[in-house]
Amino acid sequence: MDYFNEKISSKITWEGKVLSIQPRARVWRYLVHNRTHYLLGYNFFIEGFSSNGLENFTVAISEKQQLNSEFRVGDIIKGTAWTKKYEKREFADYYRAGALKLLNREKDEIIIFPPPWIIKPPSMNVYEDRGARILSKNQWKSKCFQCIWANMSNVEIQWDFDKDIKKYRFESFCYGPKSCKYYKMGRARSVSHKNMGSVLDDGFLDDICTENRDEDE
């Protein structure tokens, strides 16, 4: 539990260019018995400015907001948001976005033959149905950064069931086709538990999470 590290949240204004749109997710982990992904909306990676000084930042946007406005990479937008209360729990710099407004849009959509898939992101149901695989953090930072299937998740590790104690971190995942030439799993993920040390998620759970689709889906 990290409620002692809670920060006071404040409302800010921001404006900038959309560099990437990725699904926003919370992942619950328990050893290698369970890795459950909850899709919460989208993370917008912005290059611009915010009223509290950040120039490159991430804003959490709801699914409804994105489906209504259909923002895309390259758009110049502005809005309001709130700073996060828990540094360890939320990857995005700002959340509870509001007053979103499109300021400028390039005449034509950016057309890049995939991969990466730099297109309008699908609904949360699509991501949930596809399931995710572990993605190398280096790939997430580089070749996969603008892809709609790449993701940096807020991860909760159930460290102690009896006292409901959790540990937090961020992990990169991929919802994209299994055949993607850029995909790399990277290192296996260590998952700790009280009095049991750590076990490794070495990709076994990936097969379970994505068992409903084949190589090109």
Copy the structure tokens of residue 152: 């940096």
- Across 31-116, the runs of DSSP E, i.e. the strands, are 34-50, 56-61, 76-83, 94-104
Those residues of the chain that have pLDDT short of 50 are 1, 3
78 in a domain, yes or no?
yes
214 in a domain, yes or no?
no
215 in a domain, yes or no?
no
Query: How many helical (H) and strand (E) elements, i.e. helices and strands, does the chain have?
Result: 4, 10
User: pLDDT value at position 111?
Assistant: 66
* Side chain identity, residue 28: W
User: pLDDT value at position 2?
Assistant: 53
Instruction: List the domain range (segments joined by +) for residue 194.
Output: 3-209
Strand partners, 194: none
User: Distance between CA 50 and CA 56 in Å, rounded?
Assistant: 9
217 in a domain, yes or no?
no
User: pLDDT value at position 7?
Assistant: 83
User: pLDDT value at position 71?
Assistant: 96
Q: What are phi and psi of 62, to 5 degrees?
A: -75, 160
User: Distance between CA 118 and CA 149 in Å, rounded?
Assistant: 9
User: Distance between CA 43 and CA 58 in Å, rounded?
Assistant: 6
216 in a domain, yes or no?
no
31 in a domain, yes or no?
yes
User: Distance between CA 146 and CA 18 in Å, rounded?
Assistant: 10
23 in a domain, yes or no?
yes
What are the residue ranges of helices labelled H in the chain? Answer: 63-69, 124-130, 137-141, 204-209
48 in a domain, yes or no?
yes
User: pLDDT value at position 4?
Assistant: 52
Number of domains in the chain: 1
CATH classification at residue 45:
2.40.50.140
CA distances (Å), origin 43, targets 75, 83, 170, 173: 14, 14, 14, 14
